[in-house]
């Protein structure tokens, strides 16, 4: 117990130093499972549970988010803003990327206008507090669905999740003159690793190193780009986060000419964790949760049927399920508080799952084929229940 406490203090000291911007304290520290993620997430528990759904609906209260969004006419969507391919803030404040397009899909379904989105860039550490305080309507920020984030009791983060939109897994990235695709804990022993705070990443790497018998120094910063800067500057030997984020950053740097192709390597080939990423919303708001859930499913079903933004006018009645989903006879959208044509607008204005994936991730060499993000009938996990 005393040893655990001592190690915890050492880790916290290192984290504090890292957040303060100094890298002088890069002395080796044996990591433990205790990280800032716990602290950040649990202190906020109950932050959004102060209302009864009346009054300023959706502003820090449980329930009523749909009414709040409809009366405001704009969806407030929390994103990263600093992650190529998923959400990158543009000079005009808008965001591009896979997650940003899911914000647009929700706005198109709920408000009939994919552009009616106010993007709110958030760090990993602050994202759940901001959601629970009612400052955003939904969080679409490469966020991993975990049991503790779902849990509503003591120690739980107390949010709810929509279906996974991207099945990811954590990896590490280093220079290829020192590491390879087959590198494992033994190769990482003694290395300094950098990542951003308030993430599953910190916990996974600690466990992986402990199990593999490696001693690592873990340095956490506020945003992942800072970790990458430190890696470039040689202040960390490795960076670690969701594999998609590593590949996206590596390919972006290669395209910019900042590094040579193959100069950095992502490993190990089999990720060290499961990172199912998807939208999160406030607990106890079933009406809103159902909408976010079915926005995701509708992008899957449109993909399954080959209904795209380009062909939806010809394909909307391709079969009875498509007819229902896009607003025809037997539709269920009005029973969810939406317009009958909500998902027609969504696909027409934003696209189906494959279009969103292809537009944002394929350019960064992230593909669906052979991965969990392939359709269920091609060996993947992208599957929706029936629309009826």
Candidate residues 62, 275, 285, 303; the one interacting with ligand GSH per rule CB under 6 A: 275
In the complex with ligand GSH, the residue whose CB is nearer, 143 or 252, is 143
Q: How far apart are CA 140 and CA 109, in angstroms?
A: 16
Nearest approach in angstroms of CB 79 to ligand GSH is 9
Backbone φ and ψ for 85, nearest 5 degrees, come out as: 85, -30
Nearest approach in angstroms of CB 130 to ligand GSH is 13
Cα-to-chain-centroid distance, residue 154: 24
Candidate residues 40, 183, 204, 241; the one interacting with ligand GSH per rule CB under 6 A: 241
User: In the block, which residue shows the tokens 């969080």?
Assistant: 139
Distances (CA, A) of 111 to 69, 275, 301, 322: 8, 30, 21, 21
Whole-number CA gyration radius for the chain: 21
In the complex with ligand GSH, the residue whose CB is nearer, 142 or 373, is 142
Nearest approach in angstroms of CB 334 to ligand GSH is 34
Nearest approach in angstroms of CB 10 to ligand GSH is 23
**Binding window for ligand GSH (CB under 6 A); candidates: 22-30, 44-52, 65-73, 239-247:** 239-247
**Cross-strand pairs, 61:** none
Tell me the pairing of strands 217-221 and 238-242.
unpaired
Nearest approach in angstroms of CB 14 to ligand GSH is 19
In the complex with ligand GSH, the residue whose CB is nearer, 223 or 349, is 223
Nearest approach in angstroms of CB 225 to ligand GSH is 6
46-85: contacts with ligand GSH (CB under 6 A):
80, 82-83
Q: Is there a contact between 101 and 360 (Cβ–Cβ < 8 Å)?
A: yes
**Cross-strand pairs, 121:** 79
Q: Where are the beta strands (DSSP E) in 169-301?
A: 170-175, 192-196, 217-221, 238-242, 264-267, 275-277, 280-282
In the complex with ligand GSH, the residue whose CB is nearer, 187 or 242, is 242
Structure tokens at 7: 């190690």
Is the four-CA dihedral 273, 277, 282, 286 of positive or negative sign?
Answer: negative
Nearest approach in angstroms of CB 297 to ligand GSH is 21
Per-position b or e across 336-358, b if 16+ CB within 10 A of its CB: bebbebbbbbbbbbbbbbbbbbe
Q: How far apart are CA 285 and CA 69, in angstroms?
A: 13
With CB under 6 A, what is the number of residues at the site for ligand GSH? 18
Q: How far apart are CA 307 and CA 299, in angstroms?
A: 9
Nearest approach in angstroms of CB 161 to ligand GSH is 11
Per-residue x/- track, 121-160, ligand GSH (CB under 6 A): ---x-----------------xxx----------------
35 binds ligand GSH (CB under 6 A): no
Q: Is there a contact between 51 and 39 (Cβ–Cβ < 8 Å)?
A: no
Q: Which residue is nearest to ligand GSH (CB)?
A: 245
186-205: contacts with ligand GSH (CB under 6 A):
196, 199-201
Q: Is there a contact between 318 and 307 (Cβ–Cβ < 8 Å)?
A: yes
Candidate residues 161, 179, 208, 224; the one interacting with ligand GSH per rule CB under 6 A: 224
Nearest approach in angstroms of CB 48 to ligand GSH is 18
Interface contacts to ligand GSH, rule CB under 6 A? 80, 82-83, 124, 142-144, 196, 199-201, 223-224, 241-242, 245, 275, 277
């Amino acid at each position: 117990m005393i040893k655990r406490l001592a190690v915890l203090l050492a880790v916290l000291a290192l984290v504090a130093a890292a957040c303060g911007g100094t890298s002088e304290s890069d002395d080796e520290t044996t990591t433990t499972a205790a990280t800032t993620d716990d602290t950040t997430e649990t202190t906020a528990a109950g932050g959004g549970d102060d209302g009864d759904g009346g009054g300023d609906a959706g502003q820090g209260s449980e329930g009523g988010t749909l009414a709040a969004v409809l009366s405001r006419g704009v969806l407030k969507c929390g994103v990263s803003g600093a992650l190529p391919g998923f959400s990158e803030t543009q000079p005009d404040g808008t965001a591009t990327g896979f997650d940003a397009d899911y914000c647009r899909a929700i706005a198109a379904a709920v408000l009939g206008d994919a552009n009616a989105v106010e993007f709110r860039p958030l760090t990993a550490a602050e994202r759940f507090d901001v959601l629970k305080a009612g400052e955003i309507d939904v969080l679409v920020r490469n966020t991993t669905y975990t049991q503790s984030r779902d849990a509503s009791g003591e120690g739980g983060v107390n949010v709810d999740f929509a279906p996974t939109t991207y099945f990811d897994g954590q990896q590490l990235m280093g220079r290829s003159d020192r590491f390879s695709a087959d590198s494992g804990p033994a190769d990482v022993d003694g290395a300094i690793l950098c990542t951003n705070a308030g993430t599953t990443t910190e916990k996974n790497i600690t466990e992986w190193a402990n199990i593999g018998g490696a001693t690592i120094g873990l340095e956490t910063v506020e945003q992942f780009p800072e970790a990458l800067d430190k890696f470039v500057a040689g202040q960390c030997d490795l960076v670690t986060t969701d594999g998609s984020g590593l590949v996206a950053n590596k390919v972006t740097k290669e395209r910019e000419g900042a590094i040579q192709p193959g100069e950095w390597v992502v490993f190990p080939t089999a990720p060290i964790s499961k990172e199912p990423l998807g939208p999160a919303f406030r607990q106890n708001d079933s009406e809103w949760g159902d909408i976010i859930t079915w926005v995701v499913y509708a992008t899957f079903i449109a993909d399954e049927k080959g209904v795209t933004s380009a062909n939806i006018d010809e394909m909307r009645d391709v079969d009875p399920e498509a007819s229902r989903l896009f607003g025809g006879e037997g539709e269920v959208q009005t029973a969810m508080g939406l317009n009958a044509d909500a998902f027609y607008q969504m696909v027409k204005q934003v696209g189906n799952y494959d279009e969103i994936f292809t537009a944002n991730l394929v350019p960064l060499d992230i593909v669906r084929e052979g991965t969990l993000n392939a359709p269920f009938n091609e060996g993947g996990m992208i599957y929706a229940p029936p629309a009826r």
